[in-house]
Amino acid sequence: MTQTEDPASAAAETDLDGILQGGRLAGLAPESLAQVFGTPFYLYDLDLIGRRVKALRSILPPGFRVAFAVKANPALAVVAHLGRSGVGADVASAGELALVLRAGFDPANVAMTGPGKRDDELAAAVAAGIGAITVESIGELRRLESIAARAGRRQAVLLRLAVSEDARLETVRLIGGVEGKFGMPLSTLSEAAAIAARSPNLDLLGLHAFGASNLRDADQLVAHVAQLVDVARDVTREVGVRLRLVDAGGGLGIPYADDEEPLDLTLLQRRLQSLRARWDEVPELGDMQVLLEPGRFLVGPAGVYVARVVDVKGPDSAPVAILDGGINHALRPALIRSEHRLAVLAADSIRALVPVTVAGPLCTGIDVFATGTCLPRPRVGDLVAVLDMGAYGFTESMPWFLSHPGPAEVAVKGGVARLIRPRLDPEDVLERQIDPNWES
């Protein structure tokens, strides 16, 4: 350890490895889990999630808050566990809002973001009394103002700043009048700030901007925060509002490949502490808070998708393993064209390593997890784990394609595994469909 390192932050970076350790998942035998819950299944290590929450919070300076991006993993048991860990929530729909309220979150610690909010979603957020609604356009701001007025409420809002395609805030002043899906260019945002500042039914807290996803560069993350605060200070000063909150979004990344380095929490801590010290010298920024909205950083490494090999084809030197689950359950690798790490969970691990293609059971050529990945030669009956699937897993997939059963979701806490979402049965879906009697 160098003299510039903080022992507490160095300790915070330990014990954050993934769910698979020594051939066991969250400390449990994979085959035993498969026998109890069937395959395919998702497994989440709640204890590991708790450690990742603690590690992140331990390196944040005063005035920094954490809200879990629910879209990363909306399983009720996972979200409730995060709520008990003391973080807030970032929701993007009325459904996610209902989820976090059922999970026990204080509405004051909930923020709603995302484009295309319907009036009923805005009304639900206002009625719940959530801490902030991020507004994406002047039209949405006007609708929210009317909804808050009808409800007799004063709703706290953040204005979302549009970020250029290269996701660097230093170019934000060059966006001009170009509108995109997310947020507002600076000229429009300044107009929205003036509207919000004048409204008796809106309480302008500050700005929100999301730079880029899955960043593992601490300097890039901190640069985003610093630049957003500078812009937010200018905008709120122009309309005579005190800057109280800056929402820097998520973006905290994790490695998905063996040769990728994790986010350096010690460096992130030092950079954020320097920022905080600089802000504390500016009277108008002394009580400003910064909200971070990590999703995958908290839950990604703590989850795994497990399926069983049902067929092995091709030569022994380059076999093709077909699993009983595929992109209908775990779409992310195909969706972003980036393979996840795989592991063959075989009791007899002493096998020759060969290039293996791992695919699912669907009638489409994109249903492939990996091509030519070096793995122990698979056999029918083996379990295969797709790692780092605690974020953007099952709920980002396409479960009804080919009408296979959906995966069970299981959580482990204190060495005990429990079912948290039953397997989806195609028969249940069929029962909910209707064939009208056209002859009547």
8 Å CB contact between 43 and 304: yes
* Amino acid 175: pLDDT: 45
Mean pLDDT value of segment 253-263: 93
CA-based max dimension of the chain:
83
Judged against a pLDDT cut of 90, whether residue 233 lies above it is answered with: yes
Phi, psi of 118 (to 5 degrees): -75, 160
Helix pair angle (265-280, 218-238), 10° resolution: 20
Residue-range domains of the chain with CATH:
46-299 (3.20.20.10), 301-427 (2.40.37.10)
For residue 131, what pLDDT band results from cuts at 50, 70 and 90?
very high
Cis peptide before 407 (omega within 30 of 0): no
| Cα–Cα nearest to 74, from 48, 47, 105 | 105
Confidence grade of residue 335 (pLDDT, cut at 50, 70, 90): confident
Contact by Cβ (8 Å): 128, 107: yes
153-178 confidence digits (pLDDT tens):
999 999 999 987 554 444 444 344 55
Identify the DSSP state of 23: T
Pairing type for strands 416-421 and 88-91 reads unpaired
Give the pTM: 0.92
User: In sequence order, what are the beta bridge partners of 419?
Assistant: 410
C-alpha distance from residue 402 to each of 225, 287, 328, 361, 421 (Å): 44, 54, 8, 9, 21
Residue 349, pLDDT score: 61
What integer pLDDT is reported at residue 163 of this predicted model?
A: 85
- For 272-311, the pLDDT digits (tens) are 999 999 999 999 998 999 999 999 999 999 999 999 999 9
pLDDT in tens, 85-130: 999 999 999 999 999 999 999 999 999 999 999 999 999 999 999 9
